């Protein structure tokens, strides 16, 4: 029997389909379910299915109601408290994908919403209580203290976990604000060394655009003769002034006398106080 060959993406789809296949649905419906699962896992990290969160919340809410409502109190208080504790631990720190809103949301928020509905009483005993409020009411209830002392310890810990729970929902980037994790292209990177456009030409035989010598060196001497700032940096202004003199391809030390003509060689000047790697007078 010849086995079909699959590319990696097809193989992944096939594995997912086999894992989640529901014989009561058509192949197309199963593929929709599989693709939804893949999307949830990729778009919503640390994900727990939305329906699972809802089922857990409704079950937990009903058990909490049975522990608190006077006409519903029965045995198994510690068992119900343990269930609430374990369920809260499963939900805290998780996310769930809301396919109606089409976004990743904290599972804690969804759980709290359905828990409140499930724990409401037709007689108004527990109407409107969220998880934290309900746990507090049960822990402080005299009947619970008397009948379920171990449950008090468990639910106190459950409430502490719930109240300290932190959502792990990934932040949604604001397109109008720069990403703090990415460098601003309009600002220099403080961790990147400053790169100079110039190369050291103190020992070169010919000086061309991009060269740099000490201010009192050959380039500085020529700049002085050309009425330019004597900074020893050969860039646009120096290039233009030399081109006007017929030296568009640079000059040598022997050319200085011709370029300067009868002008006296300028006196030696002190180097500029600024860091010449950062100052670019010639291009101003």
Q: How does pLDDT run across 213-239, given as a tens digit for each residue? A: 989 999 999 999 999 999 999 999 999
The confidence score (pLDDT) of residue 124 equals 52
Q: How does pLDDT run across 65-116, given as a tens digit for each residue? A: 888 776 666 668 889 999 999 999 999 988 999 888 788 999 999 999 999 8
* Burial call 140-175: b when 16+ CB within 10 Å, e when fewer: ebeebeeebeebbebbeebbeebeebebbbeeeeee
* Confidence grade of residue 278 (pLDDT, cut at 50, 70, 90): very low
CA 28 to chain centre: 36
Quote the CA–CA distance of 64 and 141 in Å, as a whole number.
Answer: 12
Query: Do residues 62 and 119 lie in contact, with contact meaning Cβ atoms separated by under 8 Å?
Result: yes
More confident residue, 283 or 152: 152
Q: Minimum mean pLDDT among 119-133, 150-164, 165-179, 245-259: which range?
A: 165-179
The confidence score (pLDDT) of residue 46 equals 82
Q: Minimum mean pLDDT among 16-20, 54-58, 118-122, 234-238: which range?
A: 16-20
Q: How does pLDDT run across 23-76, given as a tens digit for each residue? A: 676 766 655 555 555 555 556 888 889 999 999 999 998 888 888 776 666 668
More confident residue, 142 or 123: 142
Please tell me whether the overall predicted TM-score, pTM, comes out greater than 0.75 for this model. Answer: no
| Category of 267 on φ-ψ map: left (φ > 0), alpha (ψ -120 to 50) or beta | beta
Spatial CB neighbours of 199, under 8 Å, sequence gap ≥ 6: 210, 211, 212
Q: How does pLDDT run across 151-192, given as a tens digit for each residue? A: 999 999 999 999 887 544 445 555 566 666 666 666 666 666
* Confidence grade of residue 272 (pLDDT, cut at 50, 70, 90): very low
């Amino acid at each position: 029997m010849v086995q079909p060959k699959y590319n990696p993406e097809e193989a992944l789809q096939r594995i997912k389909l086999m894992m989640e296949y529901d014989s009561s649905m058509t192949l197309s419906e199963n593929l929709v379910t599989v693709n939804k699962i893949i999307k949830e896992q990729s778009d919503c990290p640390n994900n727990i299915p939305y329906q699972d969160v809802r089922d857990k919340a409704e079950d937990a809410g009903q058990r909490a109601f049975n522990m608190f409502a006077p006409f519903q109190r029965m045995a198994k208080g510690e068992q119900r408290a343990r269930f609430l504790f374990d369920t809260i631990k499963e939900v805290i720190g998780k996310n769930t994908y809301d396919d109606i809103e089409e976004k990743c949301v904290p599972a804690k928020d969804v759980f709290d919403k359905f828990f409140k509905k499930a724990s409401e009483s037709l007689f108004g005993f527990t109407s409107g209580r969220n998880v934290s409020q309900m746990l507090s009411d049960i822990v402080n209830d005299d009947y619970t203290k008397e009948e379920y002392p171990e449950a008090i310890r468990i639910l106190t810990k459950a409430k502490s976990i719930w109240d300290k729970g932190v959502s792990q929902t990934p932040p949604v980037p604001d397109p109008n604000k720069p990403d703090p994790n990415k460098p601003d292209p309009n600002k220099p990177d403080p961790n990147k060394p400053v790169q100079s456009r110039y190369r050291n030409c103190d020992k070169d035989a010919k000086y061309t655009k991009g060269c740099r010598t000490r201010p009192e060196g050959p380039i500085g001497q020529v700049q002085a003769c050309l009425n330019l700032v004597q900074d020893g940096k050969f860039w646009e202004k120096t290039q233009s002034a030399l081109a006007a003199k017929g030296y568009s391809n640079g000059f040598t030390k022997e050319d200085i006398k011709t370029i300067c003509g009868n002008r006296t060689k300028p006196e030696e000047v002190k180097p500029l106080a600024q860091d010449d790697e950062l100052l670019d007078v010639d291009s101003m």
